[in-house]
Amino acid sequence: MTFAQIKQIAIEHGIKIVGVKKQEIVRAIQKQEGNIPCFATGMLDHCGQPHCLWLEVCE
């Protein structure tokens, strides 16, 4: 997923994106969707969210 696509999802969720890093934007989206905001925090192996939109690009 491109950064432009991530920003578009954030805009659709009403999340501010100006001056915010990609990881922070994704975490804000995760939180708003009711998920654990764990993107790129090293929790991939034990996050417990198999249907997370960001799973394929998580670090």
User: For 3-42, what is each residue's pLDDT tens digit?
Assistant: 899 999 999 999 999 999 999 999 999 999 888 898 988 8
| Greater model confidence, 55 or 17 | 17
User: Amino acid letter at 12?
Assistant: E
Instruction: Give the mean model confidence (pLDDT) for residues 39-54.
Output: 83
Please give the structure tokens belonging to residue 15: 């999340």
Per-residue pLDDT, 19: 93
Phi, psi at residue 20, to the nearest 5°? -110, 135
Per-residue pLDDT, 46: 81
Say if residue 59's pLDDT is above 80: no
Say if residue 49's pLDDT is above 90: no
CB proximity list for 34: less than 8 A, separation 6 or greater? none
